[in-house]
Amino acid sequence: MCGIAGFMADDASAGVHPDDDAAVKRMLDCIAHRGPDAEGIWRAPGVVLGHRRLAIIDLSADGNQPIANEDGAVTAVVNGEIYDFEPIREALAAKGHTLRSRSDSEVVLHLWEDLGEGFVQRIHGMFALALWDARRRALVLARDRSGKKPLFYRRTRRGLAFASELHALVRAFPEERPPVDLGAVDEYLSLQYVPAPRTVYQGIYKLPAATLAVIAPGESPSPRRYWSRPCGETLGATEDELASELRGLLDGAVRRRMVADVPLGAFLSGGVDSSVIVALMARASTRPVKTFSIGFPDADDSELRYARLVAARYSTDHHELVVAPEMTSVLQGIVEHHGEPFGDSSAVASWYLARMTREHVTVSLSGDASDENFAGYKRYNPARLSSVFDRLPSPARPAVQWAMEQAGRAIHPDVVALARSLDGGDAGRYLALLGHFTAADKQRLYGPAMAGVDAGTTQRRFASLLASSRAPDRLRRLLDLDFETYLSDDINAKVDIAAMSHALEVRCPFLDTAVVEFAARLPSRVQSRWRAKHLLRKAVVDLVPGEILHRSKRGFGLPLKRWMTRDLGPMARDLLLDRTARERGVLAPAAVEALFADLDAGRGGADRLWTLLVLETWFRAFMDGGP
């Protein structure tokens, strides 16, 4: 796991301008935390490739990057891990290729030579890479199937620049400050993240997950998708057979991710997913697994005691920390490293967990992505219930909608949100369940600067993705949607920034290609019944303590209300309601004051104010006299 950056000039005959060469060095300085072990820069006419290394496999200097093939015609920088590199190495050597290191990244060069653009379908792992082919005069950018590793790019006055983190592309070109994309701000307020390919800046883009771009000098990238979750024939085996197959796939995924030349451990939250990973690691390891858990004072639902159950069962070398976070500094750190607004408050927990874990190991496995594969979120159930509404005669629907909204007031806010959105199609319904500010909310919230911003973009984005899904039923289409949006742009982005800010590599067995493709073809009847992740629970029933296995899913126990009323309360009011914020004109002061009044009166809203606080903190850090 590392950081990459580079530049390709529009006019290769003129070479790279000294200012652009210096910009690559500035980008590497911006992402030095991702790779503290080595720095490398490679230059050729019209091209500069840069790399910051976090040494994981082949710790010698032979594994440093950039790396080139035998005759120097192909050069690459790779961020991530190729899990199936050993059989690929053997096959390449048998074909006569010379490999100069034991690094997993080196196989990329020779696969490109043999397979061209098809090379990316041959590798399995988490990666973002850039490759320069001198013969073709082309730059290749590619990103892994689930978007585990990030890659951003932008055009400048003289060419194309790319980097592993967004802020590097902003700060490396101070004379070309990009304007804010207010449409992206609107999407952020809906989702708490900016969905790919957008960023919060005009003219800077995320390379979407599972895409490849081959770019000639002077061109702009046109990414093409090389992989999607399969939608072939639904698996038809018995439930017991499917559970057994899943167990074997997970065991293999964990074992592949335990290959490292540095200390390795696992996050352990106390939920089913991380408990499964730790259990399989313990069975595959000859020494106690190092496990790491974190909690917060005054958290509503600490899972530390459940983590201890797993740690005791598998005799792990367990480490835990109850932390009273320095909220002002961690908020600044999260905003600085993301480089754009990112409002998922669990980023705070991820940040501290990664910092503690890095004190003991360099690589950690995690249980992320189980929910997106095996229908673990509660929102899938009410979303599927909407199919009943669709079968009702049209005259009966308004009355049912009204009754559902009234009942929802006593049951759960999600039911109210769903009832109000039932006539909005699957995209509108689902956005109502997971969105943070609705279109009506934003109409009240927006100041004059947001006048004319299209507040329907996110719903149309969701509708387009649902329509393009080839899955045969509603649940699996929603899983496809989450895999392409929430997983890539929220979960994976959060974990990458938290981990790499502390030079920690995080590997996710639930994102193994074989596991993902298996889960995508499961019949809905075994995915989720009265309890989420039915098949997964059945597959690991002997691995996880019953007290954990039969618990309902819970989010991380974060004392967000306390943070927003005590730790961050005064600062949040000052930032969101001072003269600078008012003159910016993005948010209407009266609407912000109403949110604080709701919080003070115990009517909730801490998550919404956190979302706004992150946005204003980003404006101060990057737009008000920055970067």
Q: What is the pLDDT of residues 203-223, one digit of tens each?
A: 999 999 999 999 999 999 999
Q: Quick one: which of 249, 478, 525 has its CA closest to 372?
A: 478
Question: What is the average pLDDT across 297-313?
Answer: 85
**Please, which pLDDT band fits residue 400 given cuts at 50, 70 and 90?**
confident
Question: Quick check: 621 pLDDT over 80?
Answer: yes
Whole-number pLDDT of residue 301: 59
Question: What is the average pLDDT across 158-170?
Answer: 97
* Integer angstrom CA distances of residue 173 from 169, 200, 221, 460: 7, 16, 19, 33
Helices (H), 435-473: 439-445, 457-468
Q: Is the dihedral of CA 348, 350, 351, 357 positive or negative?
A: positive
Whole-number pLDDT of residue 300: 60
C-alpha 310: how far from chain center:
26
Q: Encoding tokens for residue 451? A: 């006048």
Distance CA 92, CA 70 (A): 13
**Please, which pLDDT band fits residue 288 given cuts at 50, 70 and 90?**
very high
- Between 553 and 31, the more confident residue is 31
Distance CA 376, CA 392 (A): 28
Distance CA 290, CA 500 (A): 19
pLDDT in tens, 87-122: 999 999 999 998 888 999 999 999 999 999 999 999
Distance CA 72, CA 549 (A): 53
Per the prediction, the chain carries an average pLDDT of: 92
Q: Quick one: which of 464, 393, 478 has its CA closest to 429?
A: 478
Torsion of CA 230, 236, 237, 240, to 10 degrees: 80
Whole-number pLDDT of residue 379: 85
CB 144 within 8 A of CB 128: yes
Helices (H), 563-622: 569-577, 579-584, 589-600, 606-618
Question: Quick check: 433 pLDDT over 70?
Answer: yes
Whole-number pLDDT of residue 554: 67
Q: What is the pTM of this model?
A: 0.95
206 Cβ partners below 8 Å, 6+ apart?
Answer: 150, 151, 152, 196, 197, 198, 199, 489
Angle at 468 between CA 462 and CA 472, to 5 degrees: 105
Question: Quick check: 578 pLDDT over 90?
Answer: yes
Give the chain's radius of gyration (CA, Å). Answer: 24
Q: Give me the percent of the chain exceeding a pLDDT of 90.
A: 76
**Please, which pLDDT band fits residue 241 given cuts at 50, 70 and 90?**
very high
Q: Which structural domains are found in the chain, ordered by start?
A: 2-225 (3.60.20.10), 228-435+469-558 (3.40.50.620)
Question: What is the average pLDDT across 341-366?
Answer: 96
Worst-scoring range by mean pLDDT, 475-479, 486-490, 564-568? Answer: 564-568
pLDDT in tens, 5-49: 999 999 977 778 899 899 999 999 999 999 999 999 999 999 999
Question: What is the average pLDDT across 578-588?
Answer: 97
Whole-number pLDDT of residue 484: 96
Three-state secondary structure call for residue 235: coil
Whether the link from the prior residue into 66 is cis, omega within 30° of 0, is: yes
Angle at 491 between CA 488 and CA 496, to 5 degrees: 90
Question: What is the average pLDDT across 332-342?
Answer: 96
Question: What is the average pLDDT across 445-470?
Answer: 94
Torsion of CA 550, 556, 561, 564, to 10 degrees: -170
Residue located via tokens 């070109």: 173
